[in-house]
Amino acid sequence: MIPLNGVFVTGTDTEIGKTMVSAVLISHLKESRPVIYWKPVQTGIESDDDTKTVSRLAGLHDGDIHADGIRLEKPLSPHLSARLAGTKFSVADIIETLPSEHSDAFWVVEGAGGVLVPLNDDELMIDLIEALRMPAVVVSRTGLGTINHTLLTVESLRSRNIDVSGVIMNGDANPENLKAIEKYGELKVLAQIPFVEPLSRESIAAEGRKMELPF
């Protein structure tokens, strides 16, 4: 595997806004460089296709997407969804879906659930992030509880020597939580994105234009 140039978008929980944030990041980045989106593991694929959602919201073409990966029917933790499907997969299996050669495009890779969600009996999502050797962007809520959840996620990543590029917060502005995460996490909150309604290519692009990123 050629090391990927890009970031791994993870979160403090499921349904935290990783897909929307991935679309915003791509909308911002593609103005200055080629970008490839990849969802390595997707559960609940019949009703929840994050690849299609990001493609629509960020205005991607087929060549901007790496579509290969683990696709499972039940909308559950990957290890359980795989077990109910009568199959199993490993981090090595995921890595094998990557092309042996690729351009110098910037990859935005979106995880499933949080960093400690199990992929199988022995491996967690954090093992995939570590194997890909990519820095992480942590997506978190703005409300009560986010300081603890965000700092725990950041600590887990750093325990594996995974660089954390920063945090992106979703929801109503909460300056005190933002300042606490920056202070105690010793990192930067890259953006605080309000609830975007309606979700459209235009609204996603508008949020992307507000960003200033370190990568």
- With residue 9 as reference, give the H or E element that holds it: strand 6-11
Catalytic residue among 39, 179, 183, 210: 39
CA pair distance 67, 64, nearest whole angstrom: 9
Residue whose C-alpha is closest to residue 64's, from 92, 39, 90, 89: 39
What are the Cα distances from residue 180, in Å, to 34, 141, 145, 172? Answer: 34, 13, 12, 16
CA pair distance 196, 207, nearest whole angstrom: 9
Residue whose C-alpha is closest to residue 157's, from 20, 12, 2, 4: 12
The number of beta carbons lying within 10 Å of the beta carbon of residue 17 is 21
CA pair distance 29, 208, nearest whole angstrom: 8
Structure-block tokens of residue 210:
């507000």
Q: Please give the single-letter amino acid code of residue 93.
A: D
Concerning whether 74 is annotated as a catalytic residue, the answer is no
- Measured over all CA atoms, what is the biggest interatomic distance in the chain, rounded to whole angstroms? 47
Catalytic positions, please?
Answer: 39
